[in-house]
Amino acid sequence: MSSIFKIKQIRVFTGLIYALYKVLSLKYKVSILKHQKSSQIISIYFHDISERRFEKILFWIKKHKFRIISQAELIDFLYNNIEITGGVWLTFDDGWKNNLNLLPIIERYNVPITIFLTTGTINANGTFWTAIYESQMGHRVGKEFHQLTYEDKIKLIDAYNTNSDKNNVQNALSEEQMKSICNHPLVTVGLHTHNHVSLINCTEEEIERELELNIKAIRKFYSKDLQSFAYPHGLADSTHEILFRKSDIKIAAVTGNKIIKRTTNPFLLPRYGYSEASLLENYCKFMDCWNRG
């Protein structure tokens, strides 16, 4: 037997042992969480998830008797001391076209969601500038972009939007589609800036401009209160918190694999990002987040 074959066998065996460990660990953590009395919530955010995968996640959450909560319940939890155990807050960032196809599943399971809309795509042929950037640059939007001034960021975004022609695949919700999904009784809408621009290196006036454009666009089809915000690219600092505390915004979400507790800063709410890894890996990460201090 060759040494290469032996190494492959060892790797396969190690992989099986690791998978078994993950499964047993997951079952244990689910069991512990079910009997936990302290209030804590995990928040999960999605982008462009398929119907099949989304339904599997909802089925798993329901099967283990966790409760999906609305944004209003989360605000009550943080501000009014209501008790929530094993709560899950589901959010969607940006406003991807395929999110509309999830409505029948949301209805079937009768679960509330929050969708954070960026509205600059309405005037950009329904294409996210970030998708064009990543296609041309070969990598995701990174630090080199976030550190630019707001003016330089907008120049680049405008250039990408200008190059967004009819040959680009529409991956964002149109204005009519936004109206359809946002006025669904199980959907709450939050702000996500107009241009999906990170707020790093932006002045207070520039941030307010982004929010004003975002609100103006959303108000064309949505009349309910806008009480939440998700930081584009998950990036925030203390100056942003100060700004939002002076506004009508009640909660603001970042990214990060931590649970939400009653003591969590409502303007820096962590959310676990769903990934295209295996569902088992996603479930395990959800539970790891839930049990961190």
The answer to whether the beta carbons of residues 156 and 200 sit under 8 Å apart is: no
Q: Which residues contact 282 (CB under 8 A, 6 or more apart)?
A: 57, 274, 275
Residue 59: inside a domain: no
Residue 292: inside a domain: no
Residue 281: inside a domain: no
pTM of the model: 0.86
The answer to whether the beta carbons of residues 268 and 254 sit under 8 Å apart is: yes
Per-residue confidence at 203, pLDDT binned at 50, 70, 90?
Answer: very high
Residue 8: inside a domain: no
Does the pLDDT value for residue 151 go beyond 70?
A: yes
Query: Among 68-72, 198-202, 234-238, which is the least confidently predicted range?
Result: 234-238
Q: Which domain holds residue 104?
A: 69-82+93-273
Distance CA 117, CA 218 (A): 8
Report how far apart, in Å, the C-alpha atoms of 188 and of each of 64, 93, 107, 179, 185 are: 25, 12, 14, 12, 8
270: how many CB neighbours lie within 10 A of its CB? 19
The answer to whether the beta carbons of residues 193 and 232 sit under 8 Å apart is: yes
Per-residue confidence at 81, pLDDT binned at 50, 70, 90?
Answer: confident
The answer to whether the beta carbons of residues 187 and 68 sit under 8 Å apart is: no
Average pLDDT, the chain: 84
Higher pLDDT, 31 or 293: 31
Q: What pLDDT does 24 receive? A: 47
Per the document, the length of the chain is 293
Distance CA 66, CA 190 (A): 24
Q: What pLDDT does 10 receive? A: 46
Residue 143: inside a domain: yes
Does the pLDDT value for residue 7 go beyond 90?
A: no
Q: What pLDDT does 246 receive? A: 85
Residue 160: inside a domain: yes
Query: Among 57-66, 190-199, 276-285, which is the least confidently predicted range?
Result: 276-285
Could you give the number of structural domains in the chain? 1
Q: What pLDDT does 21 receive? A: 47
Query: Among 31-35, 41-45, 93-97, 244-248, which is the least confidently predicted range?
Result: 31-35
If you average pLDDT over residues 52-76, what whole number do you get? 94
Residue 159: inside a domain: yes
Residue 75: inside a domain: yes
Higher pLDDT, 69 or 42: 69
Higher pLDDT, 33 or 217: 217
Q: What pLDDT does 132 receive? A: 82
109: domain CATH number is 3.20.20.370
Per-residue confidence at 293, pLDDT binned at 50, 70, 90?
Answer: very low
Question: What pLDDT digit, counting tens, does each position of 15-41 carry?
Answer: 444 444 444 445 545 554 555 545 789
Considering the chain, what percentage of its residues have pLDDT values greater than 90?
55
158-166: list long-range contacts, CB under 8 Å, 24+ apart: 160/129, 160/132, 160/133, 161/120, 161/123, 161/124, 161/127, 161/129, 163/132, 164/124, 164/125, 164/127, 164/129, 164/132, 165/125, 166/125
